[in-house]
Structure 1
Amino acid sequence: MQDNFDIVIVGGGPIGIACGLEAKKNGLSYVIIEKGPIVNSLFNYPINMQFFSSSEKLEIDDIPFISKEAKPKRNEALEYYRRIVTSNNLNINLFEKVGTVTKKNDFFEIETDKANYLAKNVIVATGFYDLPNKINVQGEELPKVSHYYKDPHFYASQKLAIVGASNSAIDAALECWRKGAEVTLIIRGPEVGKRVKYWVRPDIINRIEEGSIKAYYNANVTSISPTTLTINTPKGAIVLENDFVLALTGYRPNFKFLQDLGIELSQDNKKLPSYNPETMESNVKGLFLAGVICGGMETHKWFIENSRIHAPIIINSIKEKLKQV
């Protein structure tokens, strides 16, 4: 098997796939390395999730994305991106995790849990869904607590507390309530998040106002026990009977991995990685960033629809560099 490439792409999500397509079209040798299945992050999204973006905005390489509704659901996206990979016979290694990336002279040495590779360039398109933002309270490690939500059926007839006010938290609250869960929302701010999908926000507000879903605003969790949940509210501490906790407080990129690569991060809370927006090349020569990872902690700034342009930008930049060698 070839282990010397023009490009190694770390991450087999939509943007990593887009980079692979561009590399193939331009005659560059490449391999995509993905630690899970094709579009691993999308696979781990909630079963019934519907995208905020319309299907045409999720398209890559001008390949049509046909969905039943204007805004596609998770299963349709999985079908779309999987067919792109298989129909174009992209060179992708699945269930292979990158360990270290070391630059030596003009090449990168990439070591995974299955093989070693040499590459003239590396593209990091790893997204941000791997590491949840912890709430850092006693009991967070209990089996009843999860930072990922999959299927509402699991919580039927259970007392479920959901921590958060973003799209993931609100979707989970509505779905689980409709499957028979007794849902309580713990919201740090004074209201439901303003970036919640516009067709969903009125629904959750109505359910809260009618009392179907309980919500505590300006509140935060202080401790979790096997049978209860303690929260701090403007009216003081409240202890709730509780079976399960979904702490859907967002996710963040693997900053340690980026720093181990030598990528500089801003010193503020945003932790923005250093790169040239005209080429997407980081401060490490030959190492490029693509997709949502470019936003650091501002994970709401980059989506599939506005970062798919990174693929042609990066591949064109690499082509120009290779001409000069």
Structure 2
Amino acid sequence: MEHFDIVIVGGGPIGLACGLEAEKKGLSYLIIEKGCLVNSLYNYPVNMQFFSSSDLLELNEIPFISIEKKPRRNEALEYYRRVAVSNGLNIHLFETVIDIQKNEYNIFVIQTSKNTYTAANTIIATGFYDIPNLLNIPGEDLPKVSHYYKDPHFYAGMNVVVVGASNSSVDAALECYRKGAKVTMIIRDSAISSHVKYWVKPDIENRIAEGSIHALFNSNLTKIDINTVTVDSPTGKITLPNDFVLALTGYRPDFDFLRKIGVGVADLITNIPIYNTETMETNISNLYLAGVVCGGLNTHTWFIENSRIHAVNIVENISKNR
């Protein structure tokens, strides 16, 4: 059974940052990722452009050069791949962590789908993109419904409902419309979210104003059928012809896994876990959180650019207490 100073769960940008910091301190480590390298970024829409500029996405002061100031998904995938390969980071891909528990010697035993490891310290950097927030309405399990959006070509010529008014919803609505889809946005609030990328917000508002994209504000999708959807709107129930539903209602961390391994909850409403804001250590000694997982349901709180420091703080604390 292999033993490490640190096992890092999650091979996204923040997991990679933790590995880079461990190397600096001469600590043995293993990064375990259930999918491909930076799996969440890989599953982003193919044309997605980041809100952050490339310099704010850099790790370990390794330059991130992009064509535009704000890089796109394919550029980010290439950057993080090069960071991992050029630094020889110790990563196991397509390996799922099943359980983490301490043994009688106060050592973590990490059980995965392929092996078992031990570690003096564990860092959870699993992000939030794998579990969508469900609508919990009839028909949500139909094949035409997706909680992820990839490529607009698939929806050309179709009646498409996009649920939500965040960045992902707005990007999907605009791209599908420009590929010839008939797009209706169903938005529970009275306006497009103020968090939408500032260079995109005027575009979606103008497309709605001119009628190119139909938007139902203060409305909720209540039922999905094979050829239609039902919407509760301020004017009553509306039935719309429909081929596909993009329910882009956001995502959340794996709270069940955190509970399973014993991480406590600081706020029952937001599910923000217990952790020290300076060291990132949880209620379990030597078990740390890094990145978006720290925000609970407030997934807009942490990004790559403002959580890179978690890696520095965690590994500094581990090195100090070693």
| Both proteins in one fold, TM over 0.5 | yes
Amino acid in the other structure paired with 2:58: E
Q: How does 1:149-164 map to 2 (within 5 A)?
A: 149-164=149-164
Is 1:56 aligned to 2:55, yes or no? yes
Return the alpha-carbon distance in structure 1 between the equivalents of residues 23 and 57 of structure 2.
20
Return the alpha-carbon distance in structure 2 between the equivalents of residues 217 and 260 of structure 1.
39
Secondary structure (helix, strand or coil) at the match of 1:288 reads: strand
Aligned equivalent of 2:8:
9
Aligned equivalent of 1:108:
108
Residue 267 of structure 1 deviates from its aligned partner by: 4.1
- Which consecutive unaligned segments of at least 5 residues does structure 1 have? none
What is the count of residue pairs matched by the alignment?
321
Residue 80 of structure 1 deviates from its aligned partner by: 0.3
Secondary structure (helix, strand or coil) at the match of 1:150 reads: coil
Cα-to-partner distance string for 1:15-46 (whole Å, 9 max, x where unaligned): 00000011011110000000011100000000
Secondary structure (helix, strand or coil) at the match of 1:282 reads: coil
Aligned equivalent of 1:264:
264
Secondary structure (helix, strand or coil) at the match of 1:37 reads: coil
**TM-score of the two chains, using structure 1 as the length reference:** 0.98
Aligned equivalent of 1:252:
252
Q: How does 1:1-325 map to 2 (within 5 A)?
A: 3-104=2-103, 105-322=105-322
Moved over 2 A (4+): none
Return the alpha-carbon distance in structure 2 between the equivalents of residues 132 and 289 of structure 1.
21
Return the alpha-carbon distance in structure 2 between the equivalents of residues 305 and 146 of structure 1.
28
Residue 256 of structure 1 deviates from its aligned partner by: 0.6
Return the alpha-carbon distance in structure 2 between the equivalents of residues 102 and 74 of structure 1.
35
Amino acid in the other structure paired with 2:289: L
Tell me, yes or no, if the aligned pair for 2:267 and 2:273 is still in contact at 8 Å. Answer: no
Residue 278 of structure 1 deviates from its aligned partner by: 1.2
Return the alpha-carbon distance in structure 2 between the equivalents of residues 305 and 153 of structure 1.
31
Secondary structure (helix, strand or coil) at the match of 1:308 reads: helix
Return the alpha-carbon distance in structure 2 between the equivalents of residues 213 and 52 of structure 1.
23
**What is the root-mean-square deviation of aligned Cα atoms in Å?**
0.7
Secondary structure (helix, strand or coil) at the match of 2:56 reads: helix
Tell me, yes or no, if the aligned pair for 2:54 and 2:69 is still in contact at 8 Å. Answer: yes
Return the alpha-carbon distance in structure 2 between the equivalents of residues 201 and 267 of structure 1.
32
Amino acid in the other structure paired with 1:119: A
Secondary structure (helix, strand or coil) at the match of 2:165 reads: coil
Seq. identity, %: 62
Amino acid in the other structure paired with 2:27: L
Return the alpha-carbon distance in structure 2 between the equivalents of residues 269 and 247 of structure 1.
23
Residue 261 of structure 1 deviates from its aligned partner by: 1.3
